């Protein structure tokens, strides 16, 4: 079956290059039986720009206007954090590419912080949303589409006997923590130093602790991320070091009567990418069971990305509750809390509160359905493809950075990757090691990459995300750009 989205002039089977500037309603969409994972309609006709001389004057102008009316010029701090002298402002995207306000083209490794698992403007998502929008966007009742997507989620996620939707990762972790507190009758939450779980007060401790004030590695200081978080909240949070079983056991043994849940990113992805040590997640599971504490996996980044069942499938460890967002909606705002029936079934009137006007809105559900069906097509080859691309990029970059002055540790778990420049670090397996990465060096490297058409966040601790639509050619171009960037930096003796 071939579905065409409002197409007037172009037939769906035509293989001519797609105009990358085309508006979405001029797109042709083939929904089934594509020969590759990447639809022709989102493969750009032209190779990426090799050398950008002027970055983006329009970005500068737009940002100056933004600063006058939007605090710090953006509706989320990470969009301006370390973006000097101004952020590159995107205008449109297609597949793995994005174009800024001046028309410069980049291979995109931000991918909206990982939400765009099918890349920009994927035809299946456009088709799904377009169809739904004509039928209605929001109903304020349960819908059949909601049941359908819930079944899809449960078919993928090992711990998911029941699922409930929300809009953002922040809401999902907030709801999961409330469920854990309600069912255990305990108040405290144990989280790990360097892990990020969204923007509500309960989890904004020791997210990005600077080493000077972070305290002992084995007993990290509890530090509010920024002002405005009530001091009383800090009484509900305990901090433990990641990848350290004995420190965790010490706290659980002493405080298990107070701790409702342990929450973690099963793979650390917000302070560089740091995999769990071998068997660490298994030990985490055993200890939480032993001390009668719930285990929450925050799979907002890892979910529907490392495998169809996320990190819990990859590492074979089943939490009590898990949180999803980002990849689930392929760019639309949707999140989910999933978990064991005994806990999830406690949600309801007169039981645990759960709500939101926009929860399970039809547009986001349509996007989620299209995203999951696309990811799951071809026997899940997309997950294999993403992991292979991640490995290829990691190995290529490792080789590029094997030079004096620009040595770096490149960590990758499947399609999420991070680079830590350092002449001393041989590995980055702890949060404290990640703090030793040379941020200045990363920024200089990133600026060179930008000129060569490669976009990443300027914060070296921020992950690079590969998607289903990043191609081998993208990876090769990126490695070439990295080699040229390092050569340019070294020739200017910027080490």
Give the catalytic positions in this structure.
Answer: 196, 298, 326
CB nearer to ligand PMP: pick between 274 and 325: 325
Contact residue for ligand PMP among 124, 206, 270, 418 (CB under 6 A): 270
Q: Across 201-320, where does the E strand assignment appear? A: 215-216, 219-220, 237-240, 259-264, 294-298
CB nearer to ligand PMP: pick between 20 and 116: 116
Contact residue for ligand PMP among 93, 158, 198, 415 (CB under 6 A): 198
Decide: is 56 part of the binding site for ligand PMP (CB under 6 A): no
DSSP for 371-389 reads HHHHHHHHHHHHHHHHHHH
Residue 163 near residue 153 (C-beta atoms within 8 A): yes
Query: In this structure, what are the phi and psi dihedrals at residue 482, rounded to the nearest 5 degrees?
Result: -65, -40
Decide: is 271 part of the binding site for ligand PMP (CB under 6 A): no
CB nearer to ligand PMP: pick between 146 and 265: 265
Residue 145 near residue 326 (C-beta atoms within 8 A): no
Q: Is 127 helix (H, G, I), strand (E, B) or coil?
A: helix
Strands 321-324 and 335-339: antiparallel
From the list 142-150, 195-203, 409-417, 435-443, the region that binds ligand PMP by CB under 6 A is 195-203
Tokens of 410: 């490149």
CB nearer to ligand PMP: pick between 322 and 450: 322
Would you give the binding string for ligand PMP spanning residues 150-179, x where CB under 6 A is met?
------------------xxx--x------
Decide: is 301 part of the binding site for ligand PMP (CB under 6 A): yes
CB of 113 to ligand PMP, least distance (A): 5
From the list 11-19, 193-201, 245-253, 472-480, the region that binds ligand PMP by CB under 6 A is 193-201
Decide: is 208 part of the binding site for ligand PMP (CB under 6 A): no
Decide: is 265 part of the binding site for ligand PMP (CB under 6 A): yes
Q: Which residue from 92, 124, 94, 134 is spatially nearest to 28, judged by alpha carbons?
A: 124
Q: How far apart are CA 168 and CA 150, in angstroms?
A: 16
Tell whether omega for the bond before 85 is within 30 degrees of 0, i.e. cis: yes
Decide: is 123 part of the binding site for ligand PMP (CB under 6 A): no
Residue 105 near residue 49 (C-beta atoms within 8 A): yes
CB nearer to ligand PMP: pick between 171 and 448: 171
Decide: is 276 part of the binding site for ligand PMP (CB under 6 A): no
Decide: is 441 part of the binding site for ligand PMP (CB under 6 A): no
CB of 172 to ligand PMP, least distance (A): 7
CB of 269 to ligand PMP, least distance (A): 6
Q: Is 247 helix (H, G, I), strand (E, B) or coil?
A: helix
Q: How far apart are CA 399 and CA 406, in angstroms?
A: 11
CB nearer to ligand PMP: pick between 448 and 462: 462
Q: Which residue from 190, 202, 157 is spatially nearest to 300, judged by alpha carbons?
A: 157
Q: How far apart are CA 315 and CA 277, in angstroms?
A: 11
Q: How far apart are CA 462 and CA 448, in angstroms?
A: 17
Decide: is 300 part of the binding site for ligand PMP (CB under 6 A): yes
CB of 372 to ligand PMP, least distance (A): 17
Would you give the binding string for ligand PMP spanning residues 84-113, x where CB under 6 A is met?
-----------------------------x
Contact residue for ligand PMP among 5, 261, 325, 387 (CB under 6 A): 325
CB nearer to ligand PMP: pick between 333 and 396: 333
Q: How far apart are CA 74 and CA 373, in angstroms?
A: 33
Decide: is 197 part of the binding site for ligand PMP (CB under 6 A): yes
Q: How many residues bind ligand PMP (CB under 6 A)?
A: 15
Q: How far apart are CA 174 and CA 346, in angstroms?
A: 16
Q: How far apart are CA 493 and CA 405, in angstroms?
A: 9
Number of neighbours of residue 125 by Cβ within 10 angstroms: 27
Using CB under 6 A as the criterion, which residues of the chain lie in contact with ligand PMP when the complex forms?
113, 168-170, 173, 196-199, 265, 270, 298, 300-301, 325
């Amino acid at each position: 079956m071939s579905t065409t989205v409002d197409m007037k002039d172009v037939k769906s089977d035509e293989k001519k290059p797609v105009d990358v500037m085309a508006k979405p309603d001029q797109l042709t969409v083939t929904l089934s039986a594509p020969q590759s994972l990447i639809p022709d309609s989102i493969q750009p006709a032209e190779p990426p720009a090799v050398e950008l001389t002027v970055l983006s004057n329009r970005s500068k102008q737009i940002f100056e206007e933004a600063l006058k009316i939007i605090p710090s010029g953006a509706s989320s701090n990470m969009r301006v954090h370390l973006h000097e002298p101004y952020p590159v402002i995107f205008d449109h995207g297609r597949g793995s590419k994005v174009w800024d306000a001046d028309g410069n083209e980049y291979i995109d490794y931000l991918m909206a912080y990982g939400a765009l698992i099918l890349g920009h403007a994927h035809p299946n998502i456009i088709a799904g949303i377009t169809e739904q929008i004509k039928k209605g966007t929001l109903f304020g009742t349960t819908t059949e589409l909601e049941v359908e997507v819930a079944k899809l989620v449960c078919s993928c996620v090992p711990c998911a006997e029941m699922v409930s939707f929300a809009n953002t990762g922040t809401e999902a972790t907030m709801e999961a923590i409330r469920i854990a507190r309600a069912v255990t009758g305990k108040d405290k939450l144990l989280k790990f130093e360097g892990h990020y779980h969204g923007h509500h007060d309960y989890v904004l401790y020791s997210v990005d602790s600077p080493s000077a004030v972070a305290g002992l590695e084995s007993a990290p200081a509890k530090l509010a991320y920024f002002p405005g978080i009530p001091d009383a909240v800090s009484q509900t949070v305990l901090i433990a070091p990641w990848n350290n079983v004995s420190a965790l056991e010490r706290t659980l043994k002493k405080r298990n009567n107070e701790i409702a849940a342990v929450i973690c990113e099963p793979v650390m992805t917000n302070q560089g990418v740091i995999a769990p040590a071998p068997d660490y997640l298994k030990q985490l599971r055993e200890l939480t069971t032993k001390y009668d504490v719930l285990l929450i996996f925050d799979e907002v980044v890892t979910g529907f990305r490392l495998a169809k069942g996320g990190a819990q499938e990859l590492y074979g460890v089943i939490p009590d509750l898990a949180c999803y967002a980002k990849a689930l909606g392929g760019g639309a705002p949707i999140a989910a809390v999933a978990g064991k029936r005994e806990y999830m079934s406690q949600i309801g009137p007169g039981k645990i509160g759960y709500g939101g006007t926009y929860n399970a809105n039809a547009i986001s559900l349509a996007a989620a359905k299209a995203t999951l069906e696309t990811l799951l097509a071809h026997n899940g080859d997309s997950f294999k493809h993403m992991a292979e691309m991640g490995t290829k990029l990691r190995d290529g970059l490792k080789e590029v950075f094997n030079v004096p002055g620009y040595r770096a540790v490149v960590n990758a778990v499947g399609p999420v990757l991070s680079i830590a420049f350092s002449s001393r670090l041989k590995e980055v397996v702890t949060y404290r090691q990640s703090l030793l990465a040379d941020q200045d060096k990363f920024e200089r490297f990133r600026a060179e990459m930008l000129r060569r058409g490669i976009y990443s966040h300027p914060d070296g601790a921020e992950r690079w995300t590969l998607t289903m639509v990043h191609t081998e050619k993208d990876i090769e171009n990126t490695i070439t750009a990295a080699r040229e960037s390092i050569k340019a930096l070294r020739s200017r003796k910027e080490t």
